Amino acid sequence: MRTAFCIINTDSDLNRPDTQLKTDTVQAQEIRKGLRQGEFKAFLQPKFDLNSNALLSVEVLARWKHPDHGLLAPAVFIPTMFRENLLDDLLHNLLQQGLAHQIVLHDKGHRFGFAFNLSLSQLSNTNFLEKLISRLEKHPLPLASVTFEITEDGPTIADEVCIKSVIRLRQLGVRLSLDDYGTGQSSLFRLCQLPFDEIKLAGEFTRQILSSSKHRSIARTTVMLARELGIQLVVEGIETEEQRCCLSEMGVRIGQGYYCARPMPFESLLAGLTSRNNNFAA
């Protein structure tokens, strides 16, 4: 089912996570406790058809419902998680929640793909990979509906272990997306090395697309590159109608950004899908 949706502005705290809290005030012990107690929640941000406004899929993003500080954005806790090697625990947590949400939506007739963020450095860990594959194999829905967005945090040339890990994931049937394309030095190398199904053009280009001819040229070239490679293109960071129109005229079909929907808890997504007007909190 393809569901059209629109914007609702809201002052809900759930849509305004606290990014002012200093990262050095969040201790690893506190994060570990939060993981154990289920304080990290999967928020969902739609990807939509720029022409029809149909909701096509969602990206799963982390928010921390801190007992003292309220809802915290990733910028507050991800640096500490990275330093303390806790990103694997976070991904497994989000995967468990996200796949469960996908099943609920599927049973209600909403067959959306779900995307999760995954770094190449995580794929260098064979124990992590085995645990990840074990969880995916238990998912009752086709794994082609699951995408991993690969982040640019690894070496310029992916090592043999990473490449083998990626191949194993592809053999399961999951999709792979090159996240934040255009911001990492190794983006073009990644496209040559690994079997991506999708490119996500970074929001930095969208933000400058109306004022900079260079940014427009790069976006237009990326559209042609994706078409030439036969892979899907998603453009991030769409915040205005003017940006949407500009990208649509270039041939971009799929977009993501605050223009249509902010990351939201599953309950808000479900309520929007089942409401008469298919409205989503933005």
- Rounded Cα distance between 263 and 211, Å, is 27
Strands (E), the chain: 3-4, 6-8, 40-49, 54-66, 70-72, 113-119, 146-151, 175-181, 198-201, 232-235, 254-255, 264-265, 279-281
Q: Can you tell me the distance from the alpha carbon of 201 to that of 220, in angstroms, rounded to the nearest whole number?
A: 11
Distances (CA, A) of 243 to 54, 56, 210, 227, 260: 17, 19, 7, 21, 12
Rg (CA), the chain: 18
Residue 269's contacts (CB-CB under 8 Å, 6 or more residues apart) are: 44, 46, 58, 280
Q: List the catalytic residues.
A: 236
Tokens 């559209």 correspond to: 223
Among candidates 45, 104, 47, 141, which has minimal Cα distance to 274? 104
**Where do we find the tokens 């915040």?**
239
Q: 42 is written with which tokens?
A: 């999967």
Per DSSP, what are the bridge partners of residue 176?
148
| Nearest residue to 112 via CA among 99, 130, 127, 93 | 99
Q: How far is CA 121 from the centre of its chain?
A: 17
